Amino acid sequence: MVFERKFSNIAELKNEPLYKKLENDIHTNKASEKVFPAIRKNEIHFYYKGGRLFKYSGRSFKTHLKYAFVCDDKETNRDVTTSVLKCIEVADFTNGYKRIKEQCALYNKGLESLFVSKLFQKYSYVTSSENIVLLDIEAALTTSERADMVLYDRNNQRIKFVEAKLFSNGELRSSKQSETVPNEETTVKKETAKSVIDQIERYEDTITKNENDIKKAYKNYIDIVNELFGLKIPNDKIKISKKAGLIFFDFNGNDVNSKAVENKKKELSSPENKYKIDERNIYAVGDTNDASLGQLFLYDIQEEEKTNTLCPNLI
């Protein structure tokens, strides 16, 4: 799989009526309405509250059926009757924009992607004044592996891939290699500490093997967003960290068994008051609003520089 980021239909995109609404929400100061744009191969994806709200490809906008299947009626909170079935549709994306956003938000509650979306307001590369910004999300490294976040250090032109996990939903509590829990209809395999570390190591292996493609892709990505949004993000000397980051969201014991949560915190904590799994640093945050991507980004920098884990031909 070749990692690519490219898009050439900027003029056509800007002429779309729906883009005007998306553009307002990309630049908005209201966290509850913030939309995040991400470049793909000949597409742009627009994310909102944990879901892909729209994508623009082939000179047209598309959304998932489950977001578009909404009632285009002002009385949105009433029970549906036969007489109003005719309104269970959206005539067009522009007029149905608000309702589609609402539906998108409803479908993605409780997911890691929803917690990532809470970072858009402060860290979106389009509007953030921070040095460390959120450059990309849901980045497909392979056909089966997606990194939740891609961070960018604008001053040093350094890229870092990060995986996000929820602590409060039961992940990462077990030291066993695998754990299953019964579900009403099936058996669901829960992630454990070891499986998460294995996942991170697969990311790092892919990053190392595809470093040149990744560097080229994100140089293109930044060129595109600079033109599209009138930005001046530097990208002439991009470096890529081969060490992927790991963040725990909701790390504040919102769980029925708070004692188990506290015991796991103690197990993961190091003498330096950092959290670790198998000597790997973890950035843990309770309230996402308190998250510092700068701190997350820098957690492993000293170790990387000591072990030369920046991609060697990019230093």
Q: pLDDT > 90: what percent of the chain?
A: 50
Q: CB 302: neighbour CB atoms within 10 A? A: 9
Q: What is the pTM of this model?
A: 0.82
Answer yes or no: is pLDDT of 168 > 70.
Answer: no
What residue segments make up the domains of the chain, in order of their start? 10-314
Mean pLDDT of the chain: 80
Answer yes or no: is pLDDT of 178 > 80.
Answer: no
Alpha-carbon gap, residue 229 to 5, rounded angstroms: 16
Q: Average of pLDDT values for 200-220?
A: 95
Minimum mean pLDDT range among 114-118, 174-178, 230-234 = 174-178
CB-based contacts of 235: which residues, under 8 Å, 6+ apart?
157, 218, 219, 222, 223, 226
For the stretch 234-246, pLDDT in tens is: 999 999 998 898 8
Alpha-carbon gap, residue 300 to 303, rounded angstroms: 5
Q: Average of pLDDT values for 262-274?
A: 56
Q: Is 296 exposed, middle or buried (0-12, 13-18, 19+ CB in 10 A)?
A: buried
Instruction: Report the pLDDT value the prediction gives residue 85, as an integer from 0 to 100.
Output: 59
Token digits of residue 148: 């939740």
Minimum mean pLDDT range among 29-43, 139-153, 186-200, 230-244 = 186-200
Cα within 13 Å of Cα(278), Cβ side: 12
Answer yes or no: is pLDDT of 221 > 50.
Answer: yes
Instruction: Report the pLDDT value the prediction gives residue 249, as an integer from 0 to 100.
Output: 81
Instruction: Report the pLDDT value the prediction gives residue 273, as an integer from 0 to 100.
Output: 46
Alpha-carbon gap, residue 200 to 152, rounded angstroms: 18
Q: Average of pLDDT values for 155-167?
A: 91
**DSSP of 150-205, one letter per residue?**
EEEETTTTEEEEEEEEETTTTTT---SS-EEEE-SSSEEEEP-HHHHHHHHHHHHH
Instruction: Report the pLDDT value the prediction gives residue 195, as an integer from 0 to 100.
Output: 79
